[in-house]
Structure 1
């Protein structure tokens, strides 16, 4: 008789209602061969307010995909496997760590109601169809950037081995302007914070589009290596990301681009990804990794042109995790919300070492979004002809290995005092927190003394007096 897995919805073994009600939707993966039993401490950084923002009726970017993701994560009970942090907004000072003052002030002032007064600024700051003005735009930027900064702090402090922020990963935003649906670059801000402590940061991007904003920000440094897998033909947005873009000056050879054609399939993508990432990590020796997990590289994405299934995309994330290096997982593109949420829920399960049932839980809100199959793994891999021939991929791999040949050793960083972190607190707020902690410390000391007295009294023999 063939073995039927507990997670197989077509299993021949039926269960009664009461049993099904108490059956978990995930099964822990313990001591797997691939990751050597690595069990990281995972944190999930979110703010439910982010999902409420709206770019516009016809705009492909739908922040409510984050709400669907959170519902799937909680529906599978994965929230029980992680530390959960409801994050604060990024402060203006934190946004200014990377972005220019005039641009941030523009984001603060502009609204759909007063936009006609900013006609010149709209052109100056690249506001248009891709990056429209919408209600609460500045608040939205603060929320998703704040979550990435919070994730970076948890990695720095050692409270987390892997930190997840699916609302982040907006990799196109530039220092002076928005681009490609991205208004502020949370990735750059998180990397800048990590660089206070970590000598080398590796950024890996598996979005459909080139991670141009992050590459541009660190194009001149050897402390950040950017690796991007994306579609490239010279015209596809953003029009950058050919294999000959490798960095400038001190950053020469610390940018690696993997330009791909339409229709790449699971096996080709995963094989190429692993063959590139292994020597990158071996040579660069990063002390922390940021992986941007853009879901528009999946098949059947509204703006996509690849044939990747959810498991193949997740296999790339699992491979990076297997190196056991502190890691931040961010969202990014993805314009078919039901598949975006499926993917990010599945990759959350990978981070937490859990195998999920392919049948979606019955009681999740908005379950009708996932009809007709109600599956975590629909077939997404047969929409486009694969134009990435074996010859093309072999030649590309040779070129990438040639680029990596120049990375003979990991760049070293001189020891110096760690610069202060912007903790999103004013001096007055910080003073109040310190005063509260001092009061709590005095109270704890008093309670300890009380407990000591009570314990001694309980331990005394009958007839003894205790001062």
Structure 2
């Protein structure tokens, strides 16, 4: 188990049951030391900025703070292929010219460049998601936060969309050791394609993504993409247009998530909180405020389920930090003032020096008629979900355990088709109208 740096009593949180929620927060100070490149949009430094704001608002006093215990590289191959992870360990800026074929094969290039310490960075954020899921399995926390995670585009054997290792999938696999059903929710402006693809053929994981759709990366996430085989109807996609505002987004989010909870009844939730859906993001086209984005977090929290909260996209650094700090306050149930306390990056937030910023006047192209039509389609899809299994959940020990228990858990995994290592050829299933093979079934 990760060593605790700070362990304080939990605070009572508002919500349907007014129960106390124990919040664990995972952070590694090294995460901000990695650089994709001077002109690259992805800046791991944003996580350090968010953490510093969280500290100076005093929110760490209301959480248990953990530095993740780094998992072995082999743990990453519970989803990713051995040769892909081996390549990420091998490649450096100095030797990349020797591996041109592999760079193309694994989609390492402009969007996902070679930089010093690629796999070490992946190891940090993936370890936090896996370790956070293990804490939820152990019932030593009710909510776990890992703002360095949420890299939802990575595939089994290729990088994609600034993502090399898919910690969302690894965290879900950990949760599946205990929970029969896991719900993955994604409010990043980009479709959560890597997670959807990984679980496209299983009914144990439902993926739900609210995203911009059309001529926009990654180009997937049509409302007609609903899953395959046993996973049919367990992929939920709400394609949106430019200008999505708070009123429209929170309305569709609450309605769809409520219906999912009714029909799917998950035992745990993974919530990806990409902030590129905020107004003014460098790569985004939505118009959400920090409060509008956080309303989704508060709504998921109100169901009182074990919840793993992850970061994701977000490319206007000061707004990323603002949003994740405010959402940390929502998750801990602590009210914080709009006026920003002095912090190490205070000058980034000028001239307003406030947590909440006004949105733009961009037009919302999501008409009420369009949103109503999309909701109706999804509600009809969810009616097809099978009733919640009545069989007892099978508890499997968490990843972070003794060697003896690890061996037993490994044996149990081999008997579970969702948990099996996908390296074997028999795991690959080519699906109709899908670009990639399904990784789990």
Q: Give the TM interval when normalised to the shorter protein.
A: 0.7 to 0.9
CA drift of 1:89 comes to: 2.0
Q: Is the 8 A contact 2:11 2:62 kept in 1?
A: no
| Residue 393, structure 1, aligned to residue 371, structure 2 | yes
Q: Select which of 51, 74, 87 maps to 1:70.
A: 51
Alpha-carbon distance in 1 for matches of 2:11, 2:294: 15
Q: Is the 8 A contact 2:178 2:393 kept in 1?
A: no
Q: Is the 8 A contact 2:213 2:221 kept in 1?
A: yes
| Matched residue, 2:92 | 111
Q: Distance in 2 between matches of 1:355 and 1:29?
A: 12
SS at match of 1:279: helix
Equivalent residue for 1:14? none
Tell me how far 1:30 sits from its aligned partner.
Answer: 6.0
Q: Which residue among 312, 316, 329 is the counterpart of 1:332?
A: 312
* C-alpha distance in structure 2 between counterparts of 1:334 and 1:424, whole Å: 34
The corresponding residue for 2:144 is 163
**Residue pairs, 1:2-41, within 5 angstroms:** 32=14, 34-41=15-22
Counterparts in 2 of 1:351 and 1:303: CA distance versus 1, 3 Å: same
Tell me how far apart the structure 2 counterparts of residues 118 and 285 of structure 1 sit (CA, whole Å).
47
Question: Does the 8 Å contact 1:199/1:412 carry over to 2?
Answer: no
Give, in angstroms, the shift of residue 38 of structure 1. 3.0
Q: Is the 8 A contact 1:50 1:143 kept in 2?
A: yes
Change (3 A) 1:114 1:243: same
Contact 1:131 1:178 in 2 (8 A): yes
Task: Map residues 51-450 of structure 1 onto 2, 5 A cutoff.
Answer: 51-233=32-214, 235-362=215-342, 364-379=343-358, 381-411=359-389, 418-419=395-396, 421-423=398-400
Contact 1:262 1:305 in 2 (8 A): yes
Residue 90 (structure 1) shift: 2.5
How many residues are matched? 397
State the SS of the aligned residue for 1:180. Answer: coil
* Separation in 2, partners of 1:191, 1:292: 12
Contact 1:38 1:322 in 2 (8 A): no
Distance 1:369 1:322, change over 3 A: same
Q: Where do 5+ consecutive residues of structure 2 fail to align?
A: 1-9, 408-441
Shift of 1:173: 0.3
What TM-score results when the alignment is normalised by the length of structure 1?
Answer: 0.82
**How much is the aligned-residue C-alpha RMSD, in angstroms?**
1.9
Displacement of 1:404: 1.1
d(CA) in 1 for partners of 2:402 and 2:281? 40
Q: Assess if the C-alpha contact under 8 Å between 1:199 and 1:287 holds in 2.
A: yes
* Residue aligned with 1:359, SS: coil
Secondary structure (helix, strand or coil) at the match of 1:355 reads: coil
Measure the CA separation in 1 of the matches of 2:364 and 2:100: 44
Task: Write the deviation string for residues 181-200 of structure 1: whole angstroms up to 9, x where unpaired.
Answer: 00000011111111111111
Distance in 1 (alpha carbons) for counterparts of 2:70 and 2:11: 35
Structure 1: gaps (5+ residues): 1-27, 431-467
Task: Tell me the secondary structure at the aligned position of residue 178 of structure 1.
Answer: coil
SS of the counterpart of 2:42? coil
Q: Give per-residue Cα distances to partners, 1:82-138, cap 9 Å, x unaligned.
A: 000011222112101110011000000000000000011011010111100001111
Could you say which structure has the larger radius of gyration?
Answer: 1
Superposed CA deviations along residues 301-358 of structure 1, whole A, max 9, x for unmatched, are: 0000000000000001100100111111000000011000100000000110011100
